[in-house]
Amino acid sequence: MVAAAAVVVAVGTVAGTLSALGDGRGGDEARPEVTRSPHLDRLPVVPSPPAAEASPTAFPRRTASPTPSVSRTEKKRQPAPPATRLYRHPDSQVLDWVRAHPGDPRTPVIASRIAGRPAAVWFADFTPSTIASRVRAVTSGAAAQGRVPVVVAYAIPGRDCGGASEGGAPGLAAYDGWIDSFAAGLGSGAVVVILEPDAIAQSDCLSGAQRAARFASLARAGRVMKAADPKARVYYDAGHSDWNPAAEQAARLKQAGAASAASSDGVFSNVSNFNSTSDEIAYDRRVLAALGGPASLGAVVDTSRNGNGAPADGAWCDPAGRRIGRAPTLSTGEARIDGYLWVKPPGESDGCEGAPGTFSPSYAYDLASS
Protein backbone atom coordinates (compact mmCIF):
# COMPACT_ATOMS: atom_id res chain seq x y z
CA MET A 1 0.00 0.00 0.00
CA VAL A 2 1.26 3.43 -0.88
CA ALA A 3 0.82 5.93 1.93
CA ALA A 4 -0.77 9.28 1.18
CA ALA A 5 0.00 11.71 3.95
CA ALA A 6 -2.54 12.78 6.52
CA VAL A 7 -4.57 15.83 5.67
CA VAL A 8 -5.04 18.18 8.59
CA VAL A 9 -7.00 21.25 7.70
CA ALA A 10 -8.96 24.24 8.80
CA VAL A 11 -12.54 23.59 7.72
CA GLY A 12 -13.66 26.87 6.23
CA THR A 13 -13.11 29.09 9.21
CA VAL A 14 -13.47 26.05 11.42
CA ALA A 15 -10.66 24.13 13.07
CA GLY A 16 -10.64 20.51 11.94
CA THR A 17 -10.20 17.43 14.08
CA LEU A 18 -9.01 14.50 12.04
CA SER A 19 -8.48 10.81 12.44
CA ALA A 20 -6.44 8.40 10.37
CA LEU A 21 -7.91 7.03 7.18
CA GLY A 22 -8.67 3.42 6.66
CA ASP A 23 -7.36 1.00 4.09
CA GLY A 24 -6.96 1.57 0.38
CA ARG A 25 -4.03 2.37 -1.84
CA GLY A 26 -2.93 5.89 -1.12
CA GLY A 27 -5.43 6.11 1.69
CA ASP A 28 -3.41 6.56 4.89
CA GLU A 29 -4.84 10.05 5.32
CA ALA A 30 -6.80 11.98 7.85
CA ARG A 31 -9.74 14.19 7.13
CA PRO A 32 -11.61 16.76 9.17
CA GLU A 33 -14.61 16.83 11.41
CA VAL A 34 -16.08 20.16 12.51
CA THR A 35 -15.29 21.05 16.10
CA ARG A 36 -16.36 24.69 16.36
CA SER A 37 -18.35 27.32 14.57
CA PRO A 38 -16.83 29.82 12.14
CA HIS A 39 -15.78 33.26 13.33
CA LEU A 40 -17.00 35.33 10.42
CA ASP A 41 -16.86 38.51 12.49
CA ARG A 42 -13.07 38.39 12.21
CA LEU A 43 -13.02 38.75 8.45
CA PRO A 44 -12.48 42.53 8.37
CA VAL A 45 -9.02 42.02 9.86
CA VAL A 46 -6.49 42.79 7.14
CA PRO A 47 -3.42 40.54 7.45
CA SER A 48 0.06 41.63 6.59
CA PRO A 49 1.33 40.53 3.17
CA PRO A 50 2.39 36.88 3.01
CA ALA A 51 6.10 36.47 3.59
CA ALA A 52 8.31 35.30 0.77
CA GLU A 53 5.45 34.92 -1.71
CA ALA A 54 6.76 35.09 -5.25
CA SER A 55 5.62 37.99 -7.39
CA PRO A 56 3.41 36.23 -9.92
CA THR A 57 2.59 37.07 -13.45
CA ALA A 58 -0.97 37.29 -14.71
CA PHE A 59 -2.89 34.22 -13.59
CA PRO A 60 -3.37 32.36 -15.76
CA ARG A 61 -5.77 33.28 -18.54
CA ARG A 62 -3.68 35.35 -20.89
CA THR A 63 -5.91 37.19 -23.32
CA ALA A 64 -4.75 40.27 -25.14
CA SER A 65 -6.96 43.32 -24.87
CA PRO A 66 -7.04 45.84 -27.70
CA THR A 67 -5.39 49.15 -26.93
CA PRO A 68 -8.03 51.88 -26.91
CA SER A 69 -7.49 55.04 -28.87
CA VAL A 70 -6.75 58.02 -26.65
CA SER A 71 -7.57 61.61 -27.52
CA ARG A 72 -5.29 64.48 -26.58
CA THR A 73 -7.70 65.56 -23.86
CA GLU A 74 -8.49 62.11 -22.51
CA LYS A 75 -6.21 60.34 -20.09
CA LYS A 76 -5.29 56.82 -21.05
CA ARG A 77 -7.12 54.41 -18.81
CA GLN A 78 -5.15 51.41 -17.65
CA PRO A 79 -7.26 48.30 -17.05
CA ALA A 80 -7.07 46.98 -13.53
CA PRO A 81 -4.65 44.05 -13.38
CA PRO A 82 -6.19 40.69 -12.50
CA ALA A 83 -5.79 39.48 -8.95
CA THR A 84 -2.78 37.20 -8.95
CA ARG A 85 -1.51 37.08 -5.39
CA LEU A 86 -2.82 34.44 -3.02
CA TYR A 87 -5.00 35.27 -0.03
CA ARG A 88 -4.12 34.54 3.58
CA HIS A 89 -7.34 34.04 5.51
CA PRO A 90 -7.11 35.73 8.92
CA ASP A 91 -8.77 32.89 10.84
CA SER A 92 -6.57 29.80 11.15
CA GLN A 93 -5.13 27.62 13.86
CA VAL A 94 -1.56 28.74 13.23
CA LEU A 95 -2.52 32.42 13.40
CA ASP A 96 -4.49 31.77 16.59
CA TRP A 97 -1.42 30.15 18.14
CA VAL A 98 0.95 32.92 17.04
CA ARG A 99 -1.34 35.61 18.47
CA ALA A 100 -1.67 33.73 21.75
CA HIS A 101 2.07 33.03 22.16
CA PRO A 102 4.03 36.21 21.38
CA GLY A 103 6.78 35.29 23.81
CA ASP A 104 7.36 31.70 22.72
CA PRO A 105 10.85 31.34 21.21
CA ARG A 106 9.38 29.39 18.29
CA THR A 107 6.91 32.11 17.39
CA PRO A 108 9.11 34.23 15.06
CA VAL A 109 9.95 31.23 12.87
CA ILE A 110 6.40 29.89 12.80
CA ALA A 111 4.96 33.35 12.20
CA SER A 112 7.23 34.27 9.31
CA ARG A 113 7.58 30.93 7.57
CA ILE A 114 4.11 29.41 8.05
CA ALA A 115 1.55 31.85 9.46
CA GLY A 116 2.68 34.60 7.12
CA ARG A 117 1.89 32.56 4.01
CA PRO A 118 -1.47 31.80 2.42
CA ALA A 119 -3.04 28.38 2.82
CA ALA A 120 -6.26 26.80 1.58
CA VAL A 121 -9.54 27.15 3.44
CA TRP A 122 -11.43 23.88 3.77
CA PHE A 123 -15.20 23.32 3.79
CA ALA A 124 -15.72 19.76 4.93
CA ASP A 125 -18.94 19.74 6.91
CA PHE A 126 -22.31 19.21 5.28
CA THR A 127 -24.09 22.40 6.30
CA PRO A 128 -26.39 23.41 3.43
CA SER A 129 -27.89 26.38 5.26
CA THR A 130 -24.58 28.14 5.94
CA ILE A 131 -22.17 27.01 3.24
CA ALA A 132 -22.89 29.88 0.83
CA SER A 133 -22.33 32.56 3.47
CA ARG A 134 -19.17 30.89 4.78
CA VAL A 135 -17.65 30.59 1.32
CA ARG A 136 -18.70 34.16 0.57
CA ALA A 137 -16.97 35.39 3.72
CA VAL A 138 -13.67 34.01 2.42
CA THR A 139 -14.04 35.10 -1.19
CA SER A 140 -15.24 38.59 -0.31
CA GLY A 141 -12.39 39.03 2.13
CA ALA A 142 -9.96 38.06 -0.62
CA ALA A 143 -11.64 40.33 -3.16
CA ALA A 144 -11.35 43.29 -0.79
CA GLN A 145 -7.58 42.80 -0.84
CA GLY A 146 -7.36 42.04 -4.56
CA ARG A 147 -6.09 38.54 -3.83
CA VAL A 148 -6.96 35.00 -4.86
CA PRO A 149 -8.37 32.60 -2.24
CA VAL A 150 -7.93 28.84 -2.38
CA VAL A 151 -10.99 26.93 -1.16
CA VAL A 152 -11.48 23.19 -0.80
CA ALA A 153 -14.86 21.52 -1.33
CA TYR A 154 -14.87 18.26 0.64
CA ALA A 155 -18.33 16.80 1.22
CA ILE A 156 -18.71 14.04 -1.37
CA PRO A 157 -20.98 11.17 -0.21
CA GLY A 158 -19.10 8.03 0.72
CA ARG A 159 -16.05 10.08 1.63
CA ASP A 160 -13.01 8.02 2.64
CA CYS A 161 -14.77 4.84 1.46
CA GLY A 162 -16.35 4.45 4.89
CA GLY A 163 -13.06 4.84 6.77
CA ALA A 164 -12.26 7.03 9.73
CA SER A 165 -12.99 10.22 7.81
CA GLU A 166 -16.31 9.07 6.44
CA GLY A 167 -18.97 11.68 6.14
CA GLY A 168 -20.05 14.29 3.67
CA ALA A 169 -23.48 14.69 2.17
CA PRO A 170 -26.06 11.94 2.76
CA GLY A 171 -26.45 11.34 -0.99
CA LEU A 172 -25.60 12.75 -4.37
CA ALA A 173 -28.82 14.74 -4.69
CA ALA A 174 -28.05 16.46 -1.40
CA TYR A 175 -24.46 16.95 -2.49
CA ASP A 176 -25.57 18.60 -5.73
CA GLY A 177 -27.62 21.05 -3.67
CA TRP A 178 -24.65 21.73 -1.39
CA ILE A 179 -22.51 22.43 -4.44
CA ASP A 180 -25.11 24.87 -5.75
CA SER A 181 -24.90 26.77 -2.47
CA PHE A 182 -21.10 26.54 -2.42
CA ALA A 183 -20.99 28.03 -5.91
CA ALA A 184 -23.32 30.83 -4.85
CA GLY A 185 -20.67 31.95 -2.37
CA LEU A 186 -17.85 32.18 -4.91
CA GLY A 187 -18.72 35.70 -5.97
CA SER A 188 -17.37 37.12 -9.20
CA GLY A 189 -13.64 37.30 -8.58
CA ALA A 190 -10.70 35.00 -9.09
CA VAL A 191 -10.74 31.93 -6.86
CA VAL A 192 -9.04 28.53 -6.95
CA VAL A 193 -11.29 25.57 -6.08
CA ILE A 194 -9.75 22.26 -5.03
CA LEU A 195 -12.63 19.89 -5.74
CA GLU A 196 -12.91 16.86 -3.47
CA PRO A 197 -9.47 15.46 -2.58
CA ASP A 198 -9.35 11.67 -3.06
CA ALA A 199 -12.82 11.49 -4.61
CA ILE A 200 -11.42 10.22 -7.91
CA ALA A 201 -8.16 8.54 -6.91
CA GLN A 202 -9.83 6.70 -4.03
CA SER A 203 -12.98 5.41 -5.68
CA ASP A 204 -12.24 1.70 -5.91
CA CYS A 205 -14.61 0.97 -3.03
CA LEU A 206 -17.56 2.02 -5.21
CA SER A 207 -19.44 -0.20 -7.61
CA GLY A 208 -19.30 0.66 -11.29
CA ALA A 209 -22.68 2.36 -11.12
CA GLN A 210 -21.80 4.23 -7.94
CA ARG A 211 -18.53 5.43 -9.43
CA ALA A 212 -20.25 6.62 -12.61
CA ALA A 213 -22.81 8.52 -10.52
CA ARG A 214 -20.09 10.13 -8.39
CA PHE A 215 -18.09 11.16 -11.44
CA ALA A 216 -21.20 12.63 -13.08
CA SER A 217 -21.85 14.64 -9.93
CA LEU A 218 -18.26 15.91 -9.89
CA ALA A 219 -18.53 16.94 -13.54
CA ARG A 220 -21.71 18.80 -12.66
CA ALA A 221 -19.98 20.47 -9.70
CA GLY A 222 -17.30 21.93 -11.93
CA ARG A 223 -19.87 23.21 -14.43
CA VAL A 224 -21.96 24.81 -11.70
CA MET A 225 -18.98 26.57 -10.12
CA LYS A 226 -17.62 27.90 -13.39
CA ALA A 227 -21.07 29.06 -14.48
CA ALA A 228 -21.57 30.84 -11.15
CA ASP A 229 -18.17 32.55 -11.31
CA PRO A 230 -16.45 32.60 -14.72
CA LYS A 231 -13.21 33.61 -13.00
CA ALA A 232 -13.22 30.52 -10.78
CA ARG A 233 -10.58 27.93 -11.57
CA VAL A 234 -11.64 24.40 -10.67
CA TYR A 235 -9.09 21.62 -10.25
CA TYR A 236 -9.83 17.88 -10.06
CA ASP A 237 -8.25 15.11 -8.00
CA ALA A 238 -5.20 13.51 -9.61
CA GLY A 239 -4.05 11.75 -6.44
CA HIS A 240 -0.26 11.85 -6.40
CA SER A 241 2.78 10.43 -8.13
CA ASP A 242 2.99 7.30 -5.93
CA TRP A 243 -0.66 6.32 -6.28
CA ASN A 244 -2.49 5.40 -9.51
CA PRO A 245 -0.57 5.30 -12.81
CA ALA A 246 -1.01 8.49 -14.81
CA ALA A 247 -2.99 6.85 -17.63
CA GLU A 248 -5.37 5.16 -15.21
CA GLN A 249 -5.91 8.36 -13.24
CA ALA A 250 -6.46 10.31 -16.46
CA ALA A 251 -9.16 7.86 -17.55
CA ARG A 252 -10.97 8.39 -14.26
CA LEU A 253 -10.56 12.16 -14.51
CA LYS A 254 -12.03 12.18 -18.01
CA GLN A 255 -15.13 10.38 -16.74
CA ALA A 256 -15.44 13.04 -14.04
CA GLY A 257 -15.42 15.92 -16.50
CA ALA A 258 -11.85 17.07 -15.92
CA ALA A 259 -11.07 17.19 -19.66
CA SER A 260 -13.88 19.66 -20.36
CA ALA A 261 -13.23 23.39 -20.17
CA ALA A 262 -16.85 23.81 -19.10
CA SER A 263 -16.08 21.95 -15.86
CA SER A 264 -12.37 22.05 -15.30
CA ASP A 265 -9.17 24.04 -15.37
CA GLY A 266 -7.03 20.99 -14.73
CA VAL A 267 -5.89 18.79 -11.86
CA PHE A 268 -4.32 18.96 -8.41
CA SER A 269 -1.90 16.52 -6.85
CA ASN A 270 0.05 15.73 -3.68
CA VAL A 271 -2.59 17.10 -1.32
CA SER A 272 -1.25 16.53 2.20
CA ASN A 273 1.58 14.40 0.85
CA PHE A 274 5.37 14.64 0.85
CA ASN A 275 6.31 13.73 -2.73
CA SER A 276 8.86 16.06 -4.28
CA THR A 277 7.70 18.90 -6.48
CA SER A 278 9.75 17.61 -9.40
CA ASP A 279 8.08 14.19 -9.15
CA GLU A 280 4.64 15.80 -9.04
CA ILE A 281 5.36 18.06 -12.01
CA ALA A 282 6.43 15.10 -14.11
CA TYR A 283 3.42 13.06 -12.99
CA ASP A 284 0.93 15.87 -13.54
CA ARG A 285 2.22 16.45 -17.06
CA ARG A 286 1.76 12.75 -17.83
CA VAL A 287 -1.78 12.90 -16.46
CA LEU A 288 -2.59 16.01 -18.52
CA ALA A 289 -1.14 14.46 -21.66
CA ALA A 290 -3.26 11.33 -21.19
CA LEU A 291 -6.31 13.37 -20.23
CA GLY A 292 -6.41 15.39 -23.42
CA GLY A 293 -8.78 18.32 -23.51
CA PRO A 294 -7.82 21.93 -24.20
CA ALA A 295 -4.20 23.01 -23.91
CA SER A 296 -5.26 25.52 -21.26
CA LEU A 297 -5.69 22.76 -18.67
CA GLY A 298 -2.96 22.86 -16.04
CA ALA A 299 -2.07 21.50 -12.63
CA VAL A 300 -1.47 22.75 -9.11
CA VAL A 301 0.79 20.97 -6.62
CA ASP A 302 0.50 20.93 -2.84
CA THR A 303 3.96 21.90 -1.59
CA SER A 304 3.02 22.52 2.03
CA ARG A 305 5.48 20.05 3.52
CA ASN A 306 7.33 18.32 0.69
CA GLY A 307 10.60 20.23 1.03
CA ASN A 308 12.57 17.08 1.84
CA GLY A 309 10.49 14.74 -0.29
CA ALA A 310 8.68 11.65 0.93
CA PRO A 311 10.05 9.57 3.82
CA ALA A 312 11.96 6.52 2.63
CA ASP A 313 9.94 4.24 4.90
CA GLY A 314 6.61 5.51 3.65
CA ALA A 315 5.65 7.02 7.01
CA TRP A 316 2.67 9.36 6.74
CA CYS A 317 1.76 10.40 10.29
CA ASP A 318 3.74 13.55 11.15
CA PRO A 319 6.97 11.92 9.96
CA ALA A 320 10.21 13.38 11.26
CA GLY A 321 12.70 15.08 8.99
CA ARG A 322 10.14 16.79 6.74
CA ARG A 323 10.07 20.49 6.00
CA ILE A 324 7.87 23.02 4.29
CA GLY A 325 8.16 23.17 0.52
CA ARG A 326 8.04 25.97 -1.98
CA ALA A 327 6.12 29.05 -0.96
CA PRO A 328 2.59 29.28 -2.33
CA THR A 329 2.49 31.11 -5.64
CA LEU A 330 0.56 31.31 -8.88
CA SER A 331 3.73 31.88 -10.88
CA THR A 332 5.79 28.70 -11.19
CA GLY A 333 7.74 29.23 -14.40
CA GLU A 334 6.85 25.64 -15.31
CA ALA A 335 4.81 24.75 -18.38
CA ARG A 336 1.28 23.63 -17.48
CA ILE A 337 1.92 24.02 -13.74
CA ASP A 338 -0.43 26.78 -12.65
CA GLY A 339 0.58 27.03 -9.03
CA TYR A 340 2.27 25.71 -5.94
CA LEU A 341 -0.28 25.78 -3.12
CA TRP A 342 -0.38 24.98 0.56
CA VAL A 343 -3.56 22.96 0.51
CA LYS A 344 -2.76 21.34 3.84
CA PRO A 345 -1.83 23.99 6.41
CA PRO A 346 1.63 23.02 7.73
CA GLY A 347 1.79 22.21 11.41
CA GLU A 348 -1.66 20.71 11.75
CA SER A 349 -1.10 17.23 13.09
CA ASP A 350 -1.87 13.95 11.38
CA GLY A 351 -2.47 12.48 14.83
CA CYS A 352 1.00 11.63 16.09
CA GLU A 353 2.40 15.00 17.19
CA GLY A 354 -0.96 15.92 18.67
CA ALA A 355 -4.64 15.19 18.38
CA PRO A 356 -5.62 14.78 14.73
CA GLY A 357 -6.41 18.12 13.15
CA THR A 358 -4.98 20.24 15.91
CA PHE A 359 -2.10 22.64 15.50
CA SER A 360 1.19 21.32 16.86
CA PRO A 361 3.72 24.11 17.44
CA SER A 362 6.55 21.61 17.85
CA TYR A 363 5.80 19.98 14.51
CA ALA A 364 5.29 23.35 12.84
CA TYR A 365 8.63 24.53 14.17
CA ASP A 366 10.36 21.37 12.95
CA LEU A 367 8.85 21.84 9.47
CA ALA A 368 9.78 25.50 9.32
CA SER A 369 13.28 25.30 10.75
CA SER A 370 14.67 22.09 9.24
Q: Catalytic residue numbers? A: 160, 198, 350
Is the Cβ–Cβ distance between 182 and 153 less than 8 Å? Answer: yes
CB-count exposure of residue 145 (10 Å: 0-12, 13-18, 19+):
middle
Measured distance CA(259)–CA(353) in Å, rounded? 39
- φ, ψ of residue 211 in degrees (nearest 5): -65, -45
DSSP state of 24: S
Pairing of strands 10-11, 14-20: antiparallel
Is the Cβ–Cβ distance between 234 and 195 less than 8 Å? Answer: yes
DSSP state of 41: G
- Cβ neighbours of residue 235 closer than 8 Å, sequence gap 6 or more: 192, 193, 194, 195, 264, 265, 266, 267, 268, 299, 300
Please give the distance of CA 17 from its chain centroid, rounded to a whole number: 17
